[in-house]
Structure 1
Amino acid sequence: MLEYRQKRLQMEPIRLNDIYSSLEKSESLEFRRVVCIGVFDKDRSIYVGPRSRSISGVAVNGYYVITPLMPVPNNPDSVQSTVLVNRGWVPRDWKDKPLEIPHDSQQHADIASLSVQYGEQSTWWRFWSKKPKIVEDQAPAITPVQVVGVVRGSENPSIFVPANDPSSRQWFFFDIPGIARALGLPENTLYIEDINENVNPSNPYPLPKDVNTLIRNSVMPQDHLNYTLTWYSLSAAVTFMAFKRLKPKKIQR
């Protein structure tokens, strides 16, 4: 399983639009690196956690941020449908920090405006050939982002993890169909984890996942070896002490 993951992660990234054109299922794409272009709808971000992270040797609680990556109208390189992106880890106080509402709201309004204008373009094209050019000149500028991520699936939480509560926006583990439903998206929405390595030191958050952590499992083969050596050593020690304790003593005459 570890070799399979490592081999998949070492493959060249593929364009998400090529996946859609080949009708490849997301289950067969898990642990594949994909490249997708779109615009983040940060107002609809979901925080999953708390999840601790070691910073300078100190454990700090935080969350993973999942944000929808929206298509950009009239952009052939953009994603064709919304993608859920795990942008990375943020500290607890980052969740309560107010977002840049003016910028995000304006960007969201620009996307809506582009969608409306695109609809007008297709409607009026047959009646007025110059209409699309006017719409194109007046269309607001949207700066798309490129995300390189790894296709992943839902988590299998342990019995100690509480159940998610979508009504109060509390998410303790990654339930991709549930998160998609909460955002009004199809349950089969693709979910990827950002693995961007070019982190800005002045603004590191959200901090993307290290690709090496995707290879790890909850219990690695080395852990099994350590457990084996530990328990066999303890068993040998207890057996030796029991033998010394129960060994009949020689009676001196």
Structure 2
Amino acid sequence: MAGSAIRTGAWRSLLAPGLVSLVCLAILLGLGTWQLGRKGEKEALIARILARSKVEPPAPLPDAAAWNPERDEFRRVRASGTFLHGDETLVHGLAAGDVPGRALQGYYVLTPFRLDDGGIVLVNRGFVPTERKAPASREAGQVPGPTVVTGILRGSEPRTMFVPAPDPVRNEWFNRDIAGISASRGISDPRPYLVEADATPNPGGWPKGGQLRVDLPNNHLQYAFTWFGIAACLVGVFGVFAWRRLHDEPEPASSAHS
């Protein structure tokens, strides 16, 4: 009877750690499954970007009312118009430097572009390093008069919880917020998308376009294996813990002898 009670006590002692381990296991498996789902989404996104940005020829800008991000984003487009350089907006960002793995700090230059057929669209003309923030330091790149822009359509960039809030009064922006930037520049009816300019060189070399990278990393399978591996380790550790708890013989109680 005493042995049975000890075994029952051992099983009961596993209840709390077993429940905790089960919850952790469910979370780990959920994370691994989620990463597998993200892998499929990323592969579909990469295929869509490659097809639209490299294979298809440049198309005219879609009408504002007909804009459909699912269908139109990442399409190559071409537009004719005139830059409004006096209303350019600088958005904080990073760009690949000459040394692999070392990014450059600077800004993306978003400039309103008055279209020949009416309306205004924001154009991300490219990246400038911090020392080129002032337009006077890249005056040659302030292209005057009618011009043609070729690039890729993008929707507005959402602000995540890790991105600072913009300060329109100081003209400080940290994401490509089409509606917010347009409102701060007095553009009443902007196109609901922007154009990421291609790598066609600007006079003077700045801004540098073609910053949109279509070779997106896809490490989700590696992440999934990591989560599943941790889950397997958890099962193994708890199995050893439970086996020892159930099979270790209790120390015999000492008896006093006169």
TM-score w.r.t. length of structure 1: 0.65
- Seq. identity, %: 29
Amino acid at match of 1:53: A
Q: Aligned match of 2:223 in 217, 227, 235?
A: 227
Give the deviation of 1:26 after TM superposition.
2.5
In the alignment, is residue 60 of structure 1 matched against residue 112 of structure 2?
A: no
Aligned length: 198
Q: Please, which of 87, 94, 113 is the counterpart of residue 44 of structure 1? A: 87
Checking the alignment, whether the CA contact within 8 Å between 1:43 and 1:104 is kept in structure 2 is: no
Q: Deviations over 1:157-205 (max 9, x none)?
A: 11121221211111111211111112221244254333423447x9443
Query: Is the Cα contact below 8 Å between 2:126 and 2:211 reproduced in 1?
Result: no
Q: Give the secondary-structure state (helix, strand or coil) at the position aligned to 2:183.
A: helix
Q: Give 2:58's match in structure 1, choosing from 6, 9, 13.
A: 13
Q: Does structure 2 retain, via aligned residues, the 8 Å contact 1:70–1:81? A: yes
Alignment partners' CA distance in 2, 1:48 and 1:209: 16
Which one is further off, 241-250 or 161-170?
241-250
Give the aligned residue type for 1:151: L
Q: Does 2:66 align with 1:25? A: yes
1:160 and 1:100 map into 2 onto residues whose CA distance is 31
Instruction: List 4+ stretches of structure 1 deviating above 4 A.
Output: 99-105
Q: How does 1:1-253 map to 2 (within 5 A)?
A: 1-2=44-45, 3-9=47-53, 10-16=55-61, 19-20=62-63, 25-27=66-68, 29-49=72-92, 51-55=93-97, 56-57=99-100, 58-71=102-115, 78-96=116-134, 98-99=136-137, 107=144, 142=145, 144-199=146-201, 203-213=204-214, 216=216, 222-244=218-240, 247-248=243-244
Structure 2 counterpart SS, 1:189: strand
| C-alpha spacing 1:211/1:102, structure 2 compared with 1 (3 Å) | closer
Q: Which has the larger radius of gyration?
A: 2
Hey, what's the Cα distance between the residues in 2 that align with 1:166 and 1:210?
Answer: 24
Whole-angstrom CA distance in 2 between matches of 1:190 and 1:85: 12
- TM-score normalised by the chain length of structure 2: 0.64
Contact preservation (8 Å) 1:44, 1:183: yes
Structure 1 gaps, min length 5: 72-77, 108-141
Shift of 1:70: 2.5
Larger relative contact order (C-alpha < 8 A, sep ≥ 6)?
A: 2
Change (3 A) 1:246 1:64: same
Would you say the 8 A contact 1:11–1:33 is kept in 2?
A: yes
Find the residue that maps to 1:155 and give its secondary structure.
coil
